[in-house]
Amino acid sequence: MAESRTDIVIRPATPADTPALWRLAALDDAPVPHAGIDVLIAEVDGQPVAAYADGRAIANTFRKTASLVELLRLRATQLAAAAEARATRPQRRRLQLRSNAPVAPQPLPQG
């Protein structure tokens, strides 16, 4: 018995995806998001079937895409959280310790 396999890819859109975004927007009767780093695309077996940008999704209405849209939302949330963490993380300086650094003498106890 042969196994059935579906490849799903979630990736950022590139300018080369503009025609695919136009097709998806036309199928969904929705505005076209501009291809860029903030637009995510869901591909099934190499074909774009859904996209997500600015809290809105567009999808091929002739395919079952609800679960793919949820994956796109989840990935967008993950990317936004990672970007926020990078922006708020303080820059840490590395301390370089020298093995031959002088050590201050400790006073001897008196008494």
Instruction: State the pLDDT at residue 59.
Output: 96
What is the token pair recorded at 36? 């860029």
Specify which residues 53 forms β-bridges with: 56
- Residue given tokens 């106890």 in the structure block: 109
18-68 tens-digit pLDDT? 999 999 999 999 999 877 779 999 999 999 999 999 999 999 999 999 999
Identify the domain containing residue 28 by its residue range: 8-82
Query: Does pLDDT of 96 surpass 60?
Result: no
Q: What is the pTM of this model?
A: 0.73
What is the token pair recorded at 109? 């106890």
34 assigned to some structural domain: yes
What phi and psi, each to the nearest 5 degrees, are found at residue 33? Answer: -75, 145
Report, as an integer, the average pLDDT of 11-24.
Answer: 94
Number of domains in the chain: 1
Residue with more model confidence, 3 or 14: 14
Spell out the residues 6+ positions from residue 33 whose beta carbon is closer than 8 angstroms to its own. Answer: 13, 21, 25, 39, 51, 53, 54, 56, 58
Query: Does pLDDT of 101 surpass 70?
Result: no
64 assigned to some structural domain: yes
58 assigned to some structural domain: yes
